[in-house]
Structure 1
Amino acid sequence: MKDRSRCNLHGGKTVGAGAPKGNRNAWKHGERSREHKSILELARMVEDAASGLIDRTR
């Protein structure tokens, strides 16, 4: 990168160029967040319990 003001590969002006730590720039919907995963797990548990009750009544 001699005699250049930008990185030849990435286009960043300095060594620390790019997204900040934690990369909140890529955060769009939270689909993979811890909270969302726990809600999905709870929903699956409720679904399993409900299907177990339905099976027992038949």
Structure 2
Amino acid sequence: MRTAHAATKCHAKAKATGRRCKAPAVNGWKVCRMHGAGGGAPTGPANGAWKHGGRSNAVIELQRMTVGIARLAKETIASIP
């Protein structure tokens, strides 16, 4: 029980009262398990809401690279006399 008392407390505050949560914070986090420590959905295909990845960071980066290459090719062709 001594370790529970020595643990850092959750930093979350109630909107209504302005008081801090009294629960111990999860190791490596500033908040307790009720206030989001270790939470959040996984990114990418591991997420249950993942559909097709057409707007994923990898695809967006690939599109930017493609546009850059096309722009460079257009400038190169325009510079040829």
TM-score, normalization by structure 1: 0.56
Shift in Å, 1:52: 0.4
More helix, by proportion: 1
**Pairing partner for 1:42 from 66, 73, 76:** 66
Answer whether contact 2:24 2:32 (CA < 8 A) is retained.
yes
Counterpart residue number, 1:7: 24
Shift in Å, 1:6: 2.9
* Structure 1 segments unaligned to the other structure (5+ residues): 25-29
For CA contacts below 8 A with separation 6 or more, give which structure has more relative contact order.
2
Identity among equivalent positions (%) equals 4
Shift in Å, 1:17: 4.4
TM-score, normalization by structure 2: 0.43
Q: Tell me, in whole angstroms, the C-alpha distance in 2 between the residues paired with 1:50 and 1:22.
A: 36
Q: How many residues align structurally?
A: 50
- Runs of 4+ in structure 1 displaced over 4 angstroms? none
Q: Cα RMSD (Å) of the superposition?
A: 3.4
